[in-house]
Structure 1
Amino acid sequence: MSHEKRLIQDLIRNYKDLGIMGRPVKDQNDTITIKYGLSLIQILDLDERNQILTTNVWATYNWNDMHLNWSKEEYGNITKVRVRNEDIWKPDIKLYNYADTRLGELRDALCVLSDNGDVVWIPQAVFKSSCSIDIRHFPFDVQTCHLKFGSWTYDGSKLDLQFVYGPAFELNDYIQSNEWDIIFSNAERNVKYYPCCPEPYVDLVFHIQISRKVAFYNYILILPCVLLSSLTLVLFWLPPESPAKMQLGMNIFVAFFVLLLLLAESTPPAASSIPLIGAYYCLNMILITLSTLLSVVVVNLYFHGSRTQVPRLFKKLMVDVFARVFCMRAQLLGPMDQGGPRAALYIKNNREKRHQDIKYDRVGMFEMQGEIPWQHPPGHTAPTSNGNPGMGSEPDLSAETLGNLPSQCSSLEWEVKEIRRHLRSMSDRAMDKEDMEKRAREWKVVALVLDRLFFFLYLLVLLVSAFTLFKTTLMQDGAADAKKDKGT
């Protein structure tokens, strides 16, 4: 039998005779000191919905067991041996804020014994601890979680806890996470009194602060949100007569609702605060709803027609103020609609032209009949160009013809007056029609200016909200980087 086997048998036999239960101390009032530390290997998961942090660690236990020392000269100068952890006493150090349905957290590992009685036990462990999640700045959030360890039954007078690697996680073997970056980690030793027991209990609390990597969420949540917000601006540039003006707003609203459902899947359902990006989504949905409603108002005004006239104050505000500000006045208004000297000159010329078209001139009417018949003596017949009476010849004036001349002039004057009255009636109807078209055009102009006003208001609200959101997140990232540099 080798010295190692003989040593292990002797140690286990003697320990079994003494008993595993009970602390390895000479006197019951003596305090055994346990040095405890955690080597963080990997952050496996942070479940935001259930608020559980899952970590892969190596837990390190160091203590001195007076029943496990030996004389190395008697066993071939052996200074260290390995035994099963079930064969010796171990401290009952537990994770206080556990959130695990498994019965065991630690994997089996051998204990390393030294000839002076020191015991080193480093089991692998996967801890699931509860962690309060703050999603206000999601996905630019920074989370702080803690793992609290302590003896479950021994108070501070029986079992004392100290750090092995110092007050922090040991990160020499840490594997980088695809989702989280470690900003800093620290630990503290606390002595606390619980309502159940009057004795003080010692615990070690390990803190870790991590920041989320946002590359994935930039393409899933941020970029679609920015593109949809920009696409909403197109809604105000579509002409009111286009049916796509209403359909586009509803489609964008549905797209934002789908993004909101994706965001809800990544955040706790009962969070104390909602993420800023969620509030930004809701704000965009409200703005899209308002923009759709305003589009209905614009379309209604555009097709209002000539039923009523645009209120004077409203027209002055839209046409004389906002149309000038948006540089739309020259594009939307004609010479008659712009007002001022140019409109007055246009109306004057139009009226003079209309009056010239319907003016009655007796002399002119008679001149249309050729030369006046009474310029030739009675019985005289004007010769024609070919010697025969006909077209181009002067009529033969007789006494009967001269007697009927006043009645013919009276009849002709009456007919001309009827034509003049008819032309005036047609002119009035044309002016009424033109007035109706002008009122309908004024409503269209007001609708287009109002649509442009809504566009700039929406753009202003969108820029302010986006600036507020990203300013807050940048401040959060700056604070996280500062803490990371300080921790480094």
Structure 2
Amino acid sequence: MALSLLMPALLGLMIITLFIDGIAMSDEKRLIKHLLSNYERVGIVGRPVYNTTDTVTVRYGLALIQILDLDEKNQVLTTNVWSRYQWNDILLKWNPQDFSGVNHVRVPAALIWTPDIVLYNYADTRLKEHREAMAVVSHDGTVLWIPPAIFKSTCSIDITHFPFDEQECTMKFGSWTYDGFRLDIDFFDNLQAVDVNDYVPSNEWKLIANPGKKNTAYYPCCEEPYPDLTFRLRVKRIAAFYNYILILPCVLLSSLTLVIFWLPPESPAKMMLGMNIFVAFFVLLLLLADSTPPAAVSIPLIGINIFVAFFLLLLLLADMTPPAASSVPLIVIVINLYFRGDKKSRVPKWLKRIFVDGLARIMCMTEALDEQPPRVERHPMAETSGSASPHRKHGKEKKKIKCPKLEYNKFQPPVIDYRDGAPSRSQIPTDRSPLHSQAIESDIKDIKRMLRTYINRLNEKDSQAKIAKEWRIVARVLDRLFFFMYVSTIIVSLATIFPKA
């Protein structure tokens, strides 16, 4: 009776057990368990080949999804890609008829052998680059593994034409431990390029080329070849953002600097405007330095343009700064030109020949030449003074003309005598005393001395005015030369930078 009561319970338990075993041991799960049991026996370390001399051929491809970042300062390219691996594994073969026609299964990639193909020029501190992904196995042993990955690779940056530059970054893949006799690498689906079918365009970079090439390297230490696949990504910067924050302000400030040349050197507004533009250029230079890598071999052309503008603006500011404010010898020569006439030193002949006779005529500054004062003719009476003249240092000394002294105390007016019908001259005695005659002579000497002093002062003033005006003409010619240099700098900069746009 007890047995009859236990029979239904045992029968139900057997049915439940058979039902559970039927779910757990489906054809797909039995196949996966069968395949993984092979690796449990032989292990996942080592190539899946029968003979050691056999070569495993791995086909590798790279599908670009997105360019995440190109760090110019650290020279690192960050990309979101899909790595595509395909190889044949002898331990993962089966007969589909033994498993109800199952041709494909998915197995964890960590439980089977995977090739050690890595990115050679990596620049990453992470230990793993790939995300977890299962491998698709076919009945003939073909394994397809497509793990998503984020690669950080080194990229040499050339910033000569920044921000209208083009960069070319390479990604080199190959086996880290196997040579070409043991593990050969080739392109996936024979596509010798980066697959961009699923590429998401970047807001900063435009992809213009994506070729791939297989290379084989030989080293002196070994006879075995070492193949690798090198993918090149050529990108062009989208410069719309930099046009408004860097290029346009630089062009406007360079154009605004031309206004400084229209102001006279002694005007305080010229210095204030020049200093403000100088500070604005300095801010642009800081912005440029923050956007470019500090260890770059090349220098951006826009940086050279800002530096040249700095230098010309510095000379222009030096032309209107007191001499005591600068200590650079080259700039001191420039900043003293306008005020050089106060030092009573004439313009050297070679400097006058270059600036006044040469550059002034070349730059059509005839109005400056017309303003030259006429040559000052010195009065002969001024030469009797004992003081030296500036003209004596640069020319021949004029012969002094000595004025005769007038003897007023000995002068007697003639008197005509009509006695005896014949006129005769005689001296009538003067009624002036000798003391009075000496006083008159002394006054006349004082008047002559004052006249000589006054004439000397007029001559000195005219000579100094002429010297000052000559230096001012040289300063104006130099100022005009800076103007043409600055205009040429702007034109050359625009012609050099903007054709790359």
Q: Deviations over 1:360-416 (max 9, x none)?
A: xxxxxxxxxxxxxxxxxxxxxxxxxxxxxxxxxxxxxxxxxxxxxxx9xxxxxxxxx
Counterpart amino acid of residue 75 in structure 2:
Q
> What displacement does 1:23 show?
1.5
- Identify the residue that residue 7 of structure 1 maps to in structure 2: 31
- Identify the residue that residue 190 of structure 1 maps to in structure 2: 215
CA distance in 2, matches of 1:423, 1:237: 49
Distance 1:144 1:303, change over 3 A: closer
List runs of 5+ in structure 2 lacking aligned partners. 1-22, 322-332, 377-430, 432-444
Task: Verify the 8 A CA contact 1:188 1:206 in the aligned structure 2.
Answer: yes
Q: Deviations over 1:218-242 (max 9, x none)?
A: 2222222222222222222212331
Counterparts of residues 34-183 of structure 1 (less than 5 Å): 34-165=58-189, 166-183=191-208
Distance 1:304 1:98, change over 3 A: closer
> What displacement does 1:125 show?
0.6
Matching of residue 269 in structure 1 with residue 266 in structure 2: no
1:113 partner SS: strand
Counterparts of residues 400-419 of structure 1 (less than 5 Å): none
Q: Is the deviation greater in 322-331 or in 425-434? A: 425-434
Counterparts of residues 297-336 of structure 1 (less than 5 Å): 302=338, 308=344, 311=347
CA distance in 2, matches of 1:307, 1:474: 48
1:144 partner SS: strand
Q: Is the deviation greater in 120-129 or in 19-28? A: 19-28
Distance 1:276 1:304, change over 3 A: closer
CA distance in 2, matches of 1:303, 1:469: 33
Q: Deviations over 1:33-78 (max 9, x none)?
A: 1000000111111222222111111000011112212222333332
Counterpart amino acid of residue 45 in structure 1:
D
> What displacement does 1:81 show?
1.7
Percent identity of the aligned residues?
51
Distance 1:316 1:172, change over 3 A: closer
CA distance in 1, matches of 2:272, 2:225: 68
- Identify the residue that residue 212 of structure 1 maps to in structure 2: 237
CA distance in 1, matches of 2:310, 2:260: 14
Counterpart amino acid of residue 237 in structure 2:
R
CA distance in 2, matches of 1:259, 1:306: 39
Counterpart amino acid of residue 319 in structure 2:
L
- Identify the residue that residue 402 of structure 2 maps to in structure 1: none
TM-score normalised by length of structure 2: 0.69
List runs of 5+ in structure 1 lacking aligned partners. 344-406, 408-420, 479-488
> What displacement does 1:197 show?
4.2
1:295 partner SS: coil
Q: Deviations over 1:220-274 (max 9, x none)?
A: 2222222222222222221233123333333333332332222222222222222
CA distance in 2, matches of 1:252, 1:47: 31
Task: Verify the 8 A CA contact 1:36 1:162 in the aligned structure 2.
Answer: yes
Q: Deviations over 1:305-324 (max 9, x none)?
A: 77748659677987777667
2:85 partner SS: strand
Matching of residue 18 in structure 1 with residue 45 in structure 2: no
- Identify the residue that residue 416 of structure 1 maps to in structure 2: none
Q: Deviations over 1:305-357 (max 9, x none)?
A: 777486596779877776676666569967x9579xxx9xxxxxxxxxxxxxx
> What displacement does 1:430 show?
9.1
| Alignment RMSD | 3.9
Counterpart amino acid of residue 180 in structure 1:
W
Q: Is the deviation greater in 200-209 or in 230-239? A: 230-239
Distance 1:317 1:56, change over 3 A: closer
Q: Is the deviation greater in 151-160 or in 214-223? A: 214-223
1:291 to 308, 312, 316: 316
CA distance in 2, matches of 1:215, 1:265: 18
Number of paired residues? 407
Counterpart amino acid of residue 86 in structure 1:
A
CA distance in 1, matches of 2:112, 2:310: 64
Counterpart amino acid of residue 141 in structure 1:
D
Distance 1:272 1:235, change over 3 A: same
CA distance in 1, matches of 2:484, 2:498: 21
Task: Verify the 8 A CA contact 1:306 1:439 in the aligned structure 2.
Answer: no
Distance 1:32 1:87, change over 3 A: same
Distance 1:430 1:174, change over 3 A: farther
CA distance in 2, matches of 1:213, 1:232: 29
Q: Deviations over 1:282-305 (max 9, x none)?
A: 222221222222334787555567
CA distance in 2, matches of 1:215, 1:209: 19
Distance 1:455 1:176, change over 3 A: farther
Distance 1:95 1:187, change over 3 A: same
- Identify the residue that residue 240 of structure 1 maps to in structure 2: 265
CA distance in 2, matches of 1:4, 1:279: 68
> What displacement does 1:186 show?
1.2
CA distance in 2, matches of 1:329, 1:27: 95
CA distance in 2, matches of 1:473, 1:307: 46
> What displacement does 1:5 show?
2.5
Counterpart amino acid of residue 153 in structure 2:
S
Counterparts of residues 385-464 of structure 1 (less than 5 Å): 442=466, 445-446=469-470, 449-464=473-488
Task: Verify the 8 A CA contact 2:254 2:490 in the aligned structure 1.
Answer: no
Task: Verify the 8 A CA contact 1:319 1:329 in the aligned structure 2.
Answer: no
> What displacement does 1:152 show?
1.1
- Identify the residue that residue 352 of structure 1 maps to in structure 2: none
Distance 1:41 1:439, change over 3 A: farther
Task: Verify the 8 A CA contact 1:40 1:56 in the aligned structure 2.
Answer: yes
